Amino acid sequence: MSVVGGVRRLTAPDIRARKGGAPVVGLTAYHAPGARLADEHCDFLLVGDSLGMVLYGYDTTVPVTLDMMIAHGAAVVRASRHALVVVDLPFGSYEEGPQAAFRAASRVMKETGCGAVKLEGGCHMAATVGYLVERGIPVMGHVGLTPQSINSFGSFRPRGRDDIESEAIAADGEAVVSAGAFALVVEAVPVRVAAALTRAMPVPTIGIGASVVCDGQILVAEDMLGLTPRVPKFVRRYAEVGAIASDAVARYARDVRNRAFPGVENTYAEPGFEAPEIDLPDDEPSAAAK
């Protein structure tokens, strides 16, 4: 159990125990400001490898490195006190086998202070999940649409729309949970698939594009705050922070160009010194200056 500033941080067993109880609330967090905003409202914060697309401008999550995940994970842990922090293992850091996965996961746990890791995959990852759990590393599973496999899938389309895919997802979920995962992210699947998984799994299912039938939900924070240009079907915009920020930047730029900022209240006065008057240009700034 971790206590930070008098607040008890939630753990993987706490999340597991929520099966059938109050819905589990999760959001992504990639940096300290985001973690501070979300911490008191969420049960867990996911430092997702989606940061590669949201923060770094990559087209997929594949280029994300272990060092990137550790740097962002450590910032989120430092800035939070209440929520369980889960850090994604990035593509290439765990697929080689259980020993490679343990080396990567143990680095993440040691260097970030997080409480769990998440990895994608089903039946073929069950042995790796078991290996990690047996060695003291809590694992959150992830089935359905698994973004690290985008080069195999060919697109970010939903999974499980036919019987073959839905049966494979059910088998993946059972394998990962049987191996010891404390929760299961279910991404971009039809309601019937999510409902079947939620009924069958003894641990919470965490939906993202998997409907309200799941035991909890997670979204990319920047998506629901209006900070990303593309809005997936499963996202509800709870604010348009991007528009507000753009307006603030425009007003700042205008004040700088008009020499209205900084004002007297924003400067450090020196006794006996008066700032010289500045002749303001009559014309509006040129398009190039803007």
Task: Give the pLDDT confidence score for residue 162 in this predicted structure.
Answer: 87
Domain segments of the chain as ranges: 2-239
Could you give the CA distance from residue 155 to residue 207 in angstroms, rounded to a whole number?
Answer: 19
* 31-65: pLDDT as tens digits: 999 999 999 999 999 999 999 999 999 999 999 99
| Residue 271 neighbours by CB distance under 10 Å | 4
Distance from the Cα of residue 56 to its chain's centroid: 14
Binding site members for 3-methyl-2-oxobutanoate: 49-50, 88, 118
Residue 272's pLDDT band, with cuts at 50, 70 and 90, is confident
Binding site members for Mg(2+): 49, 88, 120
Could you give the CA distance from residue 65 to residue 89 in angstroms, rounded to a whole number?
Answer: 9
Q: Sign of the C-alpha dihedral, residues 62, 66, 71, 77? A: positive
Binding site members: 49-50, 88, 118, 120
Give yes or no for a contact between 147 and 118, defined as CB atoms under 8 angstroms apart: no
Long-range contacts made by residues 110-114, C-beta under 8 angstroms, separation at least 24? 111/70, 111/73, 111/74, 112/47, 112/70, 112/73, 112/74, 112/76, 112/77, 112/85, 112/87, 113/74, 113/77, 113/78, 113/85, 114/47, 114/73, 114/76, 114/77, 114/85, 114/86, 114/87
Residue 257's pLDDT band, with cuts at 50, 70 and 90, is very high
Could you give the CA distance from residue 222 to residue 237 in angstroms, rounded to a whole number?
Answer: 9
Annotated catalytic residue within 111, 134, 187, 270: 187
| Residue 213 neighbours by CB distance under 10 Å | 17
187 is catalytic: yes
Pick the CATH number of 2-239 from 3.30.1240.10, 3.20.20.60, 3.40.50.2000, 3.40.50.300: 3.20.20.60
* 199-235: pLDDT as tens digits: 999 999 999 999 999 999 999 999 999 999 888 889 9
Could you give the CA distance from residue 12 to residue 204 in angstroms, rounded to a whole number?
Answer: 11
Buried b (16+ CB within 10 A) or exposed e, 18-35: bbeeeebbbbbbbebebb
In the block, residue with structure tokens 């895919």: 165
